[in-house]
Structure 1
Amino acid sequence: MLTDKKYRFSNLLNTRIGFFLLVVILFCIKTYIAYQTKFTLGVKGGMQEFLLAVNPIPAALLTLGIALYFSGRLSYWLMMIIDTLESVWIFANILYYREFSDFLSLGVIKGSGNVQNNLGKSLVEILHFSDFFVFLDIIILVALLAFHVIRIDATPFKKRYAFLVTMVSFLLMGGEYGLASTDRSGLLTRTFDNNYIVKYLGLNEYAAFNVYQTQKESATRSKAKASDMDSILKYLDHSRAKANPTYFGKAKGKNVFIIHLESFQQFLIDYKVDGREVTPHLNAFFHNKNTIGFDNFFHQVAQGKTSDAEMMLENSLYGLPQGSAMVTYGAQNTYQAAPAILDQRGYTTAAFHGDVPSFWNRDSTYKSWGYDYFFSSQYYKTKPSYSVGYGLKDKIFFRDASNYIQQLPQPFYAKLITLTNHYPYLLDKQNTDFPATKTGDKTVDPYVQTAHYLDQAFAEFMNYLKRTGLLKDSMIVVYGDHYGISNNHRPAIAQLLHKKSINNYDLAQFQKVPFMIHAPGLKGGVDHSYGGEIDVLPTILHLLGDKNNNTIQFGTDLLSKQHDQRVAFRDGDFVTPKYTKVGSDVYLTKTGKQITPNAVQKRQLASIQNHVTTELSLSDRVIWGDLLRFYTPKGFQKVNRKDFTYQYTKALDNLKQAQKKEPTSIEAKNHSKSTMNLYKTDAPELK
Structure 2
Amino acid sequence: MKNLKNRITNFLNTKLGFFAFAVILCWIKTYLIYLTKFNLGVHGSMQAFLLLLNPIPTTLLLLGIAIYMKGRKSYVYMIIIDLITATWLFANILYYREFSDFLTLTLMKGSSSVSNNLGKSILGIIKPTDFLAFIDILILVILLAAKIIKIDISKLNKRIPTTITAIAVVAFGINLTLAQQDRSGLLTRTFDNNYIVKYLGLNSFSVYDAAKAAKTSAVKANADSSDMNTVKNYINNNRLPSNVQYTGVAKGKNVFIIHLESFQQFLIDFKWDNQEVTPNINKLYHSKSTLSFDNFFNQVGQGKTADAELMLENSLFGLPEGAAMVTDGTSNTFQAAPAILGQRGYTTASFHGDVPSFWNRDNTYKSWGYDYFFSSKYYKDKKDYNIGYGMKDKIFLRDAANYVQQLPQPFYAKLITVTNHYPYLLDKKNQTIQKTNTGDSTVDGYVQTAHYLDQAVGEFMDWLQATGLDKKSVVIFYGDHYGISANHKKAVAKLLNKKDFDNFDNAQFQRVPFMIHMNGLQGGINHTYGGEIDVLPTILNLLGVKNDDTIQFGTDLLAPKRSEVVAFRNGDFVAPDFTKVNGTYYYTKTGETVGSLTPEQQQKVEQMSNRVDTELSLSDKVITGDLLRFYKPKGFQKVVKKDYSYNKNKSLKRLRKQNHLKKNSIMMQNHDKSLMNLYHTDAPELTKQGG
Task: Indicate whether 1:175 and 2:174 are aligned.
Answer: yes
- Structure 2 CA distance for aligned equivalents of residues 632 and 244 of structure 1: 25
1:656 corresponds to: 656
* CA displacement at 1:157 relative to structure 2: 1.8
CA contact (8 A) 2:101 2:193 kept: yes
1:644 corresponds to: 644
1:681 corresponds to: 681
2:607 corresponds to: 607
- Structure 2 CA distance for aligned equivalents of residues 283 and 354 of structure 1: 25
* CA displacement at 1:134 relative to structure 2: 1.2
CA contact (8 A) 2:301 2:319 kept: yes
1:635 corresponds to: 635
* CA displacement at 1:464 relative to structure 2: 0.5
1:381 corresponds to: 380
* CA displacement at 1:235 relative to structure 2: 0.5
1:556 corresponds to: 555
- Structure 2 CA distance for aligned equivalents of residues 306 and 222 of structure 1: 28
* CA displacement at 1:246 relative to structure 2: 1.2
Residue by residue over 1:93-116, the C-alpha shift from the partner in whole angstroms, topping out at 9 and shown as x without a partner, is: 000000100000011111111111
- Structure 1 CA distance for aligned equivalents of residues 435 and 293 of structure 2: 27
Structure 2 residues without counterparts, runs of 5 or longer: none
CA contact (8 A) 2:435 2:445 kept: yes
Q: Which secondary structure state, in structure 1, belongs to the residue aligned with residue 527 of structure 2?
A: strand
2:94 corresponds to: 95
Residue by residue over 1:194-226, the C-alpha shift from the partner in whole angstroms, topping out at 9 and shown as x without a partner, is: 111101100000000000111111000010000
Give the AA of the match of 1:622. V
Please give the residue correspondences for 1:200-239 in structure 2 after superposition, counting only pairs within 5 Å. 200-239=199-238
- Structure 1 CA distance for aligned equivalents of residues 599 and 213 of structure 2: 38
2:427 corresponds to: 428
Q: Which secondary structure state, in structure 1, belongs to the residue aligned with residue 407 of structure 2?
A: coil
Please give the residue correspondences for 1:509-524 in structure 2 after superposition, counting only pairs within 5 Å. 509-524=508-523
2:288 corresponds to: 289
- Structure 2 CA distance for aligned equivalents of residues 88 and 600 of structure 1: 49
- Structure 2 CA distance for aligned equivalents of residues 367 and 159 of structure 1: 59
* CA displacement at 1:244 relative to structure 2: 1.0
- Structure 2 CA distance for aligned equivalents of residues 669 and 602 of structure 1: 61
Residue by residue over 1:236-272, the C-alpha shift from the partner in whole angstroms, topping out at 9 and shown as x without a partner, is: 1111121212111000000000000000000000001
Q: Which secondary structure state, in structure 2, belongs to the residue aligned with residue 249 of structure 1?
A: coil
2:394 corresponds to: 395
Give the AA of the match of 1:617. S
CA contact (8 A) 2:98 2:485 kept: yes
Q: Which secondary structure state, in structure 1, belongs to the residue aligned with residue 436 of structure 2?
A: coil
Give the AA of the match of 2:257. I
Instruction: Give the TM-score normalised by structure 2.
Output: 0.99
2:344 corresponds to: 345
Superposition RMSD on alpha carbons, in Å? 0.7
- Structure 2 CA distance for aligned equivalents of residues 255 and 640 of structure 1: 24
CA contact (8 A) 1:242 1:562 kept: no
1:192 corresponds to: 191
Please give the residue correspondences for 1:495-644 in structure 2 after superposition, counting only pairs within 5 Å. 495-596=494-595, 597-644=597-644
* CA displacement at 1:616 relative to structure 2: 0.3
Q: Which secondary structure state, in structure 2, belongs to the residue aligned with residue 414 of structure 1?
A: strand
Residue by residue over 1:47-77, the C-alpha shift from the partner in whole angstroms, topping out at 9 and shown as x without a partner, is: 1111111110000000000001101111100
- Structure 1 CA distance for aligned equivalents of residues 462 and 202 of structure 2: 51
- Structure 2 CA distance for aligned equivalents of residues 435 and 14 of structure 1: 60
Give the AA of the match of 2:385. Y
* CA displacement at 1:547 relative to structure 2: 2.4
CA contact (8 A) 2:339 2:370 kept: yes
Q: Which secondary structure state, in structure 2, belongs to the residue aligned with residue 443 of structure 1?
A: helix
CA contact (8 A) 1:425 1:450 kept: yes
Number of residues paired by the alignment?
686
Q: Which secondary structure state, in structure 2, belongs to the residue aligned with residue 87 of structure 1?
A: helix
Give the AA of the match of 1:372. D
Please give the residue correspondences for 1:347-362 in structure 2 after superposition, counting only pairs within 5 Å. 347-362=346-361
- Structure 2 CA distance for aligned equivalents of residues 293 and 592 of structure 1: 24
Q: Which secondary structure state, in structure 2, belongs to the residue aligned with residue 310 of structure 1?
A: helix
- Structure 2 CA distance for aligned equivalents of residues 135 and 570 of structure 1: 32
Give the AA of the match of 1:389. G
Give the AA of the match of 2:648. Y
- Structure 2 CA distance for aligned equivalents of residues 221 and 189 of structure 1: 18
Q: Which secondary structure state, in structure 1, belongs to the residue aligned with residue 441 of structure 2?
A: coil
Q: Which secondary structure state, in structure 2, belongs to the residue aligned with residue 520 of structure 1?
A: coil
Task: Indicate whether 1:493 and 2:492 are aligned.
Answer: yes
Give the AA of the match of 1:677. N
CA contact (8 A) 2:572 2:583 kept: no
CA contact (8 A) 2:265 2:511 kept: yes
Q: Which secondary structure state, in structure 1, belongs to the residue aligned with residue 256 of structure 2?
A: strand
Give the AA of the match of 1:606. E
Residue by residue over 1:344-402, the C-alpha shift from the partner in whole angstroms, topping out at 9 and shown as x without a partner, is: 00000000000000000000000000000000000000111000000000000000000
* CA displacement at 1:563 relative to structure 2: 2.2
* CA displacement at 1:156 relative to structure 2: 1.1
CA contact (8 A) 2:352 2:416 kept: yes
- Structure 1 CA distance for aligned equivalents of residues 244 and 634 of structure 2: 23
2:161 corresponds to: 162
- Structure 2 CA distance for aligned equivalents of residues 485 and 663 of structure 1: 45
- Structure 2 CA distance for aligned equivalents of residues 503 and 603 of structure 1: 26
Q: Which secondary structure state, in structure 2, belongs to the residue aligned with residue 222 of structure 1?
A: helix
- Out of 259-268 and 561-570, give the one that drifted further: 561-570
- Structure 1 CA distance for aligned equivalents of residues 156 and 480 of structure 2: 57
Instruction: Give the TM-score normalised by structure 1.
Output: 0.99
1:241 corresponds to: 240
2:665 corresponds to: 665
- Structure 2 CA distance for aligned equivalents of residues 188 and 603 of structure 1: 24
- Structure 2 CA distance for aligned equivalents of residues 353 and 677 of structure 1: 22
Residue by residue over 1:452-504, the C-alpha shift from the partner in whole angstroms, topping out at 9 and shown as x without a partner, is: 00000000000001111101100000000000000000001111221111221
Structure 1 residues without counterparts, runs of 5 or longer: none
CA contact (8 A) 1:243 1:547 kept: no
- Structure 2 CA distance for aligned equivalents of residues 342 and 163 of structure 1: 63
